Structure 1
């Protein structure tokens, strides 16, 4: 069984409405290959697809939001926010981290994923 890593969001988080990507890579050091990045997807689709892929294989999937930014200055602002949020790493104990086990559900169909892409495109399209 593989590993799925994602943000633990509150139910009403606006981040959930962003487009999401899946990065899938090797779980161990035995394999040496470049990770595969797929997306964008709606969050529910990204999670379901990632779960389906790692359910029976020793892979790691990271599901994270894309942050659409329209220019370099907006990207720099996002970098500064990220840097400002970094604190000195605490000495983490292995006991401090408890992974949540999830059962893979049904992966979305191609038609559902394509409909999700259309919804993402509509949200990202400029309003005229």
Structure 2
């Protein structure tokens, strides 16, 4: 049984609508292969796919949002915001949630057609 790690988002977080990626690697670096990064996905699809992959294997999946930033300055601004948040003592220290892949009924794993529909929705949001 593997582990799924993702951000704990407050209700209404704008990150929910961001594209999400899955990074899957060996649990505890016991194997000598590079992690696999895949996506983008809609958040619910990413979580369901990651959960399905790690359910029966000693793997770790990290599901996190992508920031579709279009310039080096935009990336620098995001880095500075992250640094400032890290220095703020009032911010929650633990916004990551690790959970075993089994724990209640898993969400249904999306079919490829559903993932493709999600890609079209992501592309439409990014093209705005």
- Asked whether the two chains share a fold, i.e. TM above 0.5, the reply is yes
Deviation digits for residues 32-87 of structure 1 (CA, Å, limit 9, x no counterpart): 11000000000000000000000010000000000011111000001111112224
User: Residue 114 of structure 2 is aligned with which of 112, 115, 124?
Assistant: 112
1:23 CA drift (Å): 0.2
Cα offset, 1:98, TM superposition:
8.3
Q: Which residues of structure 1 form unaligned runs of 5+?
A: 89-96
Q: Is the alpha carbon distance of 1:121 and 1:99 closer, same or farther for their aligned partners in structure 2, counting shifts above 3 Å?
A: closer
Q: Number of matched residues? A: 119
Any idea what SS the aligned residue of 2:86 has? Answer: coil
Contact persistence 2:5–2:99 (CA under 8 A): no
> Which structure: greater strand fraction?
2
**Structure label with greater radius of gyration:** 1
Verify the 8 A CA contact 2:7 2:97 in the aligned structure 1.
no
Name the residue aligned to 2:68. Answer: 68
Alpha-carbon shift at residue 116 of structure 1 (Å): 0.1
Aligned to 1:59: 59
SS at match of 2:110: coil
Check whether the contact 2:5–2:98 (CA below 8 A) recurs between aligned residues.
no
Task: Give the superposition deviation at 1:13.
Answer: 1.1
How many angstroms does 1:100 deviate by?
Answer: 4.1
Calculate the TM-score normalised by the size of structure 2.
Answer: 0.85
Compare relative contact order (CA 8 Å, sep 6+) and give the higher one, 1 or 2: 2
For 2:9, the equivalent position in structure 1 comes to: 9
Unaligned 5+ runs, structure 2: 89-95
1:99: Cα distance to partner? 4.7
Q: Any idea what SS the aligned residue of 1:64 has?
A: strand
Quote the Cα distance in structure 1 between the aligned partners of 2:98 and 2:72.
Answer: 36
Separation (CA, whole Å) in 2 of partners of 1:58 and 1:99: 14
